[in-house]
Amino acid sequence: MRRFFLLLFLIILVAAGAVAWALLVPAGPRTETFVDILPGTPSSRIAKQLKDAGIVRSRYVFLALREWKGGTLKAGEYRFDHSAPMSEVFDRIHRGDVYTIALTIPEGSNVFDIAAKVEADGLGSKSAFLTAAKQDAALVRDLDANATSLEGYLFPDTYRFARHTDPQEMMAVMVKRFRKATQGMGLTSDYHRTVTLASLVEKETPLDSERPLVASVFDNRLDKNMPLMTDPSVIYAALLEGRYRGTIYQSDLQANSPYNTYVHPGLPPGPICNPGLKSLQAAMHPAQTDYLYFVAAGADPSGQSRFSATLEEHARDVEAYRRAVRSAGSPQ
C-alpha cells in the first residue's frame, strides 16, 4: 500500500507540475501570429485553435482555467507576438482585446484618398472600397435622395477596424458617425446642398476663421447665378474620369463634366470630399458679406485668403498674390 500511495503521490506531483508548467510558464509564438475566433465558437474549439497555433501548451488546462474563471470568451481576431502566461491569454480573450488597425481620415479626404489609405493600412483593396462607395449610396438616401455615392458622408475621424472588415461595414460606421456629428450641430434638412457646399469650403481654405467667408462667396455667386469657378471641383471631375495628372490643365477647365464649376453654374451634382464640422457649420451659417471673389489661402504664400467684392479688387488681389509668389521664390 505504501508503494501504491507513493506512486500515486508521484503521479499527482508530476501532473500538478505539468499543469503548473502549462498554466504559469509563458508560451507563445516567436513571430506574429493571428487567431480568428468566429462568433458562436465553443470553448473546446477555441482551446484547440490556441493549442494548434502554439499560443498555449495545453488545451485541456485552458479549458480547466475557463471552468475555474468563468465568463464569456469573445469572438474576434487576436494577435499574439510574444510569450505570455496562459492566464494572460485567457484574460485577453475574455475581455475581447481583439486586434484592430487604426484608420485616420483627415478632413477634406475624398473617396479616392480614403480608398488609398484603406489599402495602404492593409484593410482591403482600393478598388473594392471605391466600388462599395457607389453601391452603398442607399445608406444615406434618407438624408440625400440625390446621392450617387457616399462621398461627403464618410465622416473624417480615426476609426479602428479588424483586418477582415469589409468596405460595407467600414462605411456603415463612418456614416453613423456622420449622422451623430451632424445631429449634434443641428443639421436636420437640406443635407445635399449643405454637404456639397461644405465640401467646396473644406477644399478652399485650411483656416477655420475663413470658412464662413468662403461660404459667403459661394452663396453670393449662387444668388447671382454666377459660376462658382472653384478649382477643387475641376480636380474632382478629373479624378472621377481617371484623367487627373497632378495639376489643372486648360483641357480640364473646358471639360464638360457636371462637376466642372467653370463650365456649369450652380453647385456640382454632389460633394467633392468629406468635410469636417467647421466647414459644415460654415455652409449652414455663411458670413454676411458682399464678397464675390477670393484668392484661396492654400495657393498664397501669406497663408491667408484675399476676399473682394468687385472684379477690379479681385484683379489687384491676384496681382498681390503673384508678387507674393515671386517673392517667396526669390533667393534670400
Q: Mean pLDDT, the chain, as a whole number?
A: 89
What residue has cell string 442607399?
Answer: 138
The rounded percent of the chain whose pLDDT value lies above 70 is 88
One-letter amino acid of 267 = L
pLDDT tens, position by position, 59-84: 888 999 988 888 889 999 999 988 88
In sequence order, what E strands does 280-331 have?
A: 293-295, 306-308
Which residues in the chain land under pLDDT 70? 1-26, 28, 297-303, 328-332
pLDDT tens, position by position, 112-141: 999 999 999 999 999 999 999 999 999 999
- How far is residue 136's CA from residue 167's CA, in Å, rounded to a whole number? 10
Q: Which cell numbers hold the place of 29?
A: 509564438
- How far is residue 103's CA from residue 117's CA, in Å, rounded to a whole number? 8
* Residue 327: predicted pLDDT: 73
For the chain, list the domains and their CATH numbers.
Answer: 25-95 (3.30.1490.480), 101-184 (3.30.1490), 201-329 (no CATH)
